[in-house]
Amino acid sequence: MPFYEVVTVMATLFCIIYFFYRRQCCKHPILTDYPILGMLPQPLFNLWRIHDFVTEAMKRIGRTGEFTGPWFTNMDYMVTCDPFNVHHMLSKNFHNYVKGPEFREIFQAFGDGIFTADSDTWKYNRSLFHSLFKNNTFQLFLENTIQQKVQNCLLPVLNHVQQQGTVVDLQDVFNRFTFDNICSIILGHDPNCLSIDFPEVETEKAFNEVEESIFYRHTTPKCVWKLQKCVQIGQEKKMTQACKTFDVFVHACIASKREELSKWTKDQMNEQTHVDLLTILMREHQNQQEVVHDDKFLRDAVFNLFVAGRDTITSALTWFFWLVATNPLVEKKILQEIKHNFGGKVGVLSVEDVKNLVYLHGAICEALRLFPPIPFERKQAIEDDMLPSGHSVKKNTIVLLSLYAMGRFEDIWGEDCMEFKPERWVSERGGIVPEPSYKFMAFNAGPRTCLGKDLSFIQMKMVATAILCKYNVQVVEDHVPMPSLSIVLLMKDGLKVRITKREA
């Protein structure tokens, strides 16, 4: 027998044996496992609707299953949307499930910030930001910043659009609003993205491209995107350029802030007007004569806070306004609640004011349940474990938690789970119905629960009341929103609407 025939026979036997070995190891397959390609073809063909595709797959096999990628690519995952498994991993057995080195490699742009860190680095970051967010001076600064941005920029832009009678991308408006807001809150610098001429801001665009590239790394074998990164082609080239653009912007802000602080007197150091987060981080250790927060730490902190306080809010507001605009009865009840609490004339509400809006709070929770800004969470097991569902998790296994799918299971949220129903969050006594975080995971769960949860609700309520009281938001005909391919659940083509004055 010729040598090439021997090689062919041996290769064929190896493939057959390996194929059945994989089948044996994968006891709970989510999809059909093809030779060589694994289960990857089906998600790729359905990438344009990937979150709904995953939801449908999970409903067929139950709340938990296994995904195997192409052979020898290390793209094998456990996938779950079971609240009891989530509670086990994120709370009860928290220390066994970490972000891990692979996560940090994929999310390289995040650096060593709070979202990618584990162990002592994570504890330090969390403790630091917890103290900053609880600072009364900072909370007052945050409230004033949001109120001024809504009053002086958001409403005038919408009023201009209404007068022109043009179609506007409301998601783009929110993108600009949150970018200006987060820059002001974190850096003490307002880039003025939100204005009637809708200027193109290179940094804001670069930030979006980074997030899209990170999603791409999740859907591509590591060897492929690593090669693209090495030779600087395709999506990886975009990511490198985008990171450079963002880093130049942030480092310029850091350098400017350092120079500004170096000129301050002791009295100026104690003034309560300078309370953006970057100033606080620098000022604390300048007062203590310690050099702890170097430029890299500050850059990573800024990037992580941008993700937490910018795109997540944009996503939540965009889906909320689409849901409200397409559910007029809900809109009517929100307006009735506002009128009941504040009468006919409503300006930009304060933090204390928005706490009284229970039905609005429920409507925002419903939007977050159906369209969580971060649609999936990724964890890695340190040691072997057994999930409450009975599924075995081997050491180093990557576990994907589908928040999007979790909000669409009837046995979790009831037969009406696909309905936009704020009433499910309002008790008979008129209070908020508390749902456990492992069931309603929009703000994560366990020790890693989002520190900015309350601040996020405050901002969304202030924006929602300011817009709804003054304007009707009408989605243009035939506009079908589709989730974008990004780590944040934005609308692919934006939210195209017409703005009209609301009659008194």
Dist. CA 310–CA 456, nearest whole Å: 10
Phi first, then psi, for residue 407 (nearest 5°) are -75, -5
3-state secondary structure of 407: coil
Provide the pairing of β-strand 398-402 with 77-80.
parallel
Dist. CA 292–CA 285, nearest whole Å: 7
Dist. CA 471–CA 147, nearest whole Å: 18
Q: What is the mean pLDDT of each run of 10 residues along the chain (504 residues)?
A: 56 54 62 78 87 92 86 81 96 94 87 86 88 82 90 94 93 93 88 87 82 82 87 90 90 86 65 72 58 79 85 94 96 93 77 90 97 93 94 92 95 94 92 92 92 90 94 90 87 93 79
Q: What is the pLDDT of residue 109?
A: 87
Q: What is the pLDDT of residue 316?
A: 96
Q: What is the pLDDT of residue 265?
A: 63
Helix (H) or strand (E) holding 496: strand 496-501
Scored b (16 or more CB within 10 A) or e, 225-242 reads beebbeeeebbbebbbeb
Are the C-beta atoms of 434 and 440 separated by less than 8 Å? no
Q: What is the pLDDT of residue 289?
A: 46
Cβ-Cβ contacts under 8 Å for 465 (sequence gap 6 or more): 338, 346, 348, 349, 354, 357, 360
Dist. CA 141–CA 145, nearest whole Å: 6
- Residue 417 is assigned to a ligand binding site: no
Query: pTM for the whole thing?
Result: 0.89
Angle subtended by helix axes 119-133 and 277-287, to nearest 10? 100
Are the C-beta atoms of 405 and 412 separated by less than 8 Å? no
Q: What is the pLDDT of residue 330?
A: 96
Phi first, then psi, for residue 498 (nearest 5°) are -110, 140
3-state secondary structure of 168: strand
Q: What is the pLDDT of residue 291?
A: 45
DSSP 374: S
Closest alpha carbon to 211 in 110, 66, 305: 110
The region, left, alpha or beta by phi > 0 then psi within -120 to 50, assigned to residue 61 is alpha
Q: What is the pLDDT of residue 503?
A: 76
Domains of the chain by start residue, with CATH: 93-372+407-501 (1.10.630.10)
DSSP 282: H
